Every structure is written in structure tokens, then in C-alpha cells.
Amino acid sequence: MGRENIRDILRTLGVSRSNAGVSTGTRWLRSQGPTLTSVSPVDGKVAGTVKSADASSVDRVLSVTTEAFLQWRMWPAPRRGEVVRQIGEALRRSKKALGMLVSYEMGKSLQEGLGEVQEMIDICDFAIGLSRQLYGLTMHSERPHHRMYEQWHPLGPVGIITAFNFPVAVWSWNAMIAWVCGDTCVWKPSEKTPLCSVACQQIISEVFRKNNVPEGVSCLVNGDYRVGELLAKDARIALVSATGSTRMGKAVATAVASRLGKVLLELGGNNAIIITENANLDLSIRAALFGAIGTAGQRCTTTRRLIIHESVYDEVRDRLKSAYQKLQIGNPLDPECHMGPLIDEQAVRAYLRALKEIRAAGGTFVVKGSVLKGKGYESGCYVRPAIAEVENSYPIVQEETFAPILYLIRYKTLDEAIALQNGVRQGLSSAIMTTDMRQMERFLSVAGSDCGIANVNIGTSGAEIGGAFGGEKETGGGRESGSDAWKAYMRRQTSTINYGDTLPLAQGIKFQI
């Protein structure tokens, strides 16, 4: 992408070279925080700057969003859903420009950038229907002339902390659902992709103005981890939904727990595909390829481990090696390229450190990794994806490295494979490739995968918005997006109505005066 192109895209989205980074939804606030510089990993050039929030502006935002909640919660849920419907339409109109900005600022392929915006549109559609389906339950009372039921009420202001790898979609998973539930939102995006957040705020602010949505329903506070700490510690935030590393999640959980607030955590993954002796190997190779190199290995659902039956191990290894030699690595906006850059030089250092630790542990490289240099790679963030034969017990294999490094592990029995799959601290996504129904059912049973996501004959990466997204163990246990994940954004209330003339007590207790 040329410099003229990115300027045109920013202009189309209402983003300038220098931007305020704090908003209450309908207006931008002044802040004394430091300036964030967005450097594209595509070409190493400055895309723009954004002013960070400071303690004073965060306090102002939290005051405004708390007041807005008192009004927003009184809007009928279908009316809130209509606002979200219009946001979806606005995103449809901006899909190409926003997708290109995601690709340029973050470094994922244009197809993935467009797909991320489509995911935002899809969650809007899901939330519209949900706005008429916030169902409770009715229950039979043990007492005569009594009726029991439960209902769901808006929870309050929700803090949303998102990571760089999905700079817009994960925010929308939370915000669209929270809005139809009657909550207000304060978004703290990654400091590595601030322009995407400004663009989203510009898109929705026009919709909010047209619908007279109260100021403060959608707030934005750009900044580094210190801004996230302010949200986590403030009792005005009823729920903190945080996506990122396990280390970050533990810090957020500790801060929120100290004030007995609520958290929704989507943290690290160390995902594996089991390739059985009964697998369709054509499907298996394709699933492993996209899972391992999609978003340059920077997805929480990236395939990091291939657990391969010994009878097909050599064939899978050799076919992967051949496929890796055909990969095109370069500008992610070039449709011929399969993989773009890592997000920044810090990520490159983590990649190189992992390669060194693999060698030190005794791993053998099938495809050696390296930093790419020369024309088109001037940003220093392009790397060659690596494949290594390892043992699951290696310390580096037990970690989540946000880079395109794929580990190959050999197994003999399915029980052994499942134990290897489960033998890490993370529990996000998992998959098995097999044509044997007994193997797939074993994998999906209570004694099978311990992950929040368990797939059969597809990879670990890529999730539809209709299902609840999240994982177990050090992945945090949270659920976002579809199914009944909306319940995290609401509070449950159990009510009992006595329509009789007496006052019987539960459990048959007698109380007379």
C-alpha cells in the first residue's frame, strides 16, 4: 500500500494523522496523557498518532458512562437492538476501508482484515435477534399461591480491554452484546493498534447521534497498561472483559477481585491438532497450514502443536515441509501473500528467543526460522515460519509463543494423544482429524479434550460468532460472543410472588406471634 492509499483510507474513516484518543461516544476529550505512535509493521512507517488517556480523563469518562447507564438501561432492549442494527449497516459500508486499516496497522492479510470486519457485522446481526431473547425462567414454588421466576437486568458499565491481534472484532463481541443487554462500555484497545479504535468510534458515533443515544454509552480510552489498571481498580466498572496474555489476565483478575467486581477473561492458548492414522491428510495439511501461519501465528487459537500418529508422521512432516517452501511472505495487502509481518520488533525478539530455546532443549528443525531481510522487508518484522520436532515436555513447548512456530509431536495411542493435547497449562482450542467415529466421540467425551473449543476435521483457528468463545485453565474460563455468553453482561434476579392471603414459609417453617 502506498502512502497516498493509507491517507485516503484514514480520511474515509474520519481518522487523521494526529488524533485524540479519549471519547465519550459523541465527543472527543482533551487529555494530558502521552502520545501513542502507530507504526505499521508492513513498511515500518508511522501511520498516525493518538493521544493517550490520563487519570483525569479516565475519571471523566467513568463519570459520564455511569450517568449514561441510568438512562440506557431504561431503553427497551429491542430499541437498543435497532441501534446495533444500524451500526452493522454502517460497518457494511465501511468494510473495505476498515479491513484495509486493520491489515495495515496490525499486519494480518487483507482477507483476514476484511474477515475481521465481517465478524463485527455478524455479531451485530446476532445481537439484534438477542435483543428480543433475553429470556428468564419460571419455576414452581413449594408454597401454595406462590409463583417464582428469574429475570435478567443490565449489569452496569463494562470495561473492555482488547489485544492487538484482533484490533476491532473482539471489542465488537463484547460491545454489541453488552449494549443490547443495557450496559454502557468503556474500551481500552491495544496501544499497538490505536488508529483502528479511533476509526470504530467515528463509525458508531454518527449512528449514536442520529438515534439520540446518551453520551457515555460508548467510550474510548486509549493508552498502555496503566489505563487498563485504572479500569480494573475502579468500582464504577461492573465487569472487566479482558483479552490478552495469561500474565495480564492474572493482574486484571487480582485487581478486580480485590473490589469483588466481575471479570471475563480470554487469555492464552497452546492449541493442538491430533492427526490420527484414520485422518484425511489433505484436510489435515490445509487445517494445519492456516492454523499455524494465519495472522503470522498471532492468534490465540493459532495451531502451535501437531500431535501425529506414528504411522502417518513422516508423510505429514514431509508434506508440511514441502508446503512451507511454497508460502509467499510479504505485504499483507498483496493478495498473493499468505503471511504478513509480526506486530513489532518485540514480537520478533520473542520469536528468535523461542527458536534458540528449541535448539537448547534438543528440538530438531524441519523448517528453520529466520528474520527476513531485503526489499519489502524493511520494517524488520517479517519472519520465516518454522517447524520443529519436539517433545511436549520441553519448557518452550509448554509456553504460548505468539509467532509462526509449529511443533511436531509423535504418538502411538489415542489416549496418549489426548493426554499430550491436554498436557499444557492453557485450554482454549483443540482439534482432531479422523474418519473414525469412535475416535471423534472419544475426543469429544468428558475424558477427551479439556479445552473450551473442540473441533473435528477442522483446525483450531477460526470461530463462528454463534458459539460461545473461550477456554479453560490459564485461558481464563470466560465466554464471549454467541450462545448464552450474554449472561455475563447481566445480573440475575430471582423473584417470588405471593398472590394468596396467607404467608407460608419455605421448608415448612412455622413462625407465630
- Which candidate, 242, 247, 277, places its Cα nearest to that of 434? 277
Q: Which helix (H) or strand (E) holds 252?
A: helix 246-257
Nearest to 21 by CA among 187, 224, 220, 226: 220
Alpha-carbon torsion, ordered 278, 279, 282, 288, to 10 deg? -150
SS (H, E, C) 125-186: HHHHHHCCCCCCEEEECCCCCEEEEEEEEECCCEEEECCCCCCCHHHHHHHHHHHHHCCCEE
pLDDT at 272 over 90: yes
Across the range 113-120, mean pLDDT stands at 98
Secondary structure of residue 83 in the 3-state scheme? helix
- The mean pLDDT of 158-177, rounded to a whole number, is 98
Alpha-carbon radius of gyration of the chain: 24
Q: Per-residue pLDDT tens for 437-490? A: 999 999 999 999 999 999 999 999 988 999 999 999 999 999 999 999 999 999
Q: Please tell me the distance from the alpha carbon of residue 16 to that of residue 47, in angstroms, as a whole number.
A: 9
pLDDT (tens digit per residue) in 310-361? 999 999 999 999 999 999 999 999 999 999 999 999 999 999 999 999 999 9
Say whether pLDDT at 1 is over 80: no
Q: Cell for 13?
A: 474513516
- Predicted confidence (pLDDT) at residue 6 exceeds the cutoff of 90: no
- By annotation, the residues acting in catalysis are 266, 300
Got the DSSP string for 446-466? TTS--SSEEEESS-SS---TT
User: Among candidates 330, 319, 312, which has minimal Cα distance to 288?
Assistant: 319
User: Rounded mean pLDDT of the chain?
Assistant: 97
pLDDT at 512: 85
